[in-house]
Amino acid sequence: MISNQTFETNYVIWHGAFRYTYAVHPNILIGGEASYISYEDYDGISQKDKTKFSSGHWWHDIGAMARFIYNKPEWCRPFADIVLGYRRGYAAHKPIMEDIGFSMRQQYVQNRFQWYAAVGVSFRFWKNHFNIDLMCKATTLIFADWRKVTFGWKIGYNFNSK
């Protein structure tokens, strides 16, 4: 799953994930998930000016997940996910008040356990090889848009489709 905020602003967000699941029942999948989020903010008018870096946040998540799927109809499947995991986050901010001789670069590392739950619908295409998931997600930490509850989407490729 990959998403990027694409319009012209002073920040850029990248988000991606890899999931591997095993069907323990036709309606229940369990597996692992690894994901990352990158958020970078710039002082300039445009994110194209990389010399005006203001702050950045980078998170790496790893965890176990379970998904319940209602299998009918075949092309449109309602689902519910729950993911329990561990987040390692980094943040860096540019030095403040450099022009008056005071410089303090703020940096921190975050290590937290987390969970999130999602409900939505998965649309299947091209013999079930590709899917688009539309969902509402809630978490104990924050998502890439700085909220604890958000609407999202995911594009996936299913390697084991027949």
- Residue 99 in any domain: the answer is yes
Whole-number pLDDT of residue 96? 59
| Residue found by looking up tokens 């594009």 in the block | 155
Beta bridge partners of 133: 122, 154
98 domain-assigned: yes
CA dist., res. 136 & res. 119, Å (int): 6
CA distance 137 to 59: 17
Distance CA 15, CA 127 (A): 26
Give dist(CA 129, CA 25) in Å, integer: 20
Q: Is residue 130 part of a domain?
A: yes
Kindly give the confidence (pLDDT) of every residue in the chain, 162 residues in length, as a single tens digit, with 9 standing for 90 and above. 344 444 445 667 777 888 898 989 989 999 999 998 887 777 666 555 556 667 777 889 999 999 999 988 778 899 999 999 998 988 877 665 555 555 555 677 778 898 989 999 999 888 777 888 999 989 887 776 677 888 888 888 877 766
Range of the domain at 66: 2-157
The DSSP output letter for 74 is: S
- Asked whether residue 162 is assigned to any structural domain, the reply reads no
Q: Report pLDDT for 121.
A: 94
pLDDT computed for residue 10 by the predictor: 67
Give domain status of residue 105, yes or no: yes
Closest CA to 14 of 3, 25, 28: 3
DSSP 120-144: EEEEEETTTTEEEEEEEEEESS--T
Please report, for the domain that includes residue 127, its CATH number: 2.40.160
Contact 84, 112 (CB under 8 A): no
Q: Is residue 72 part of a domain?
A: yes
In the chain, how many domains are there? 1
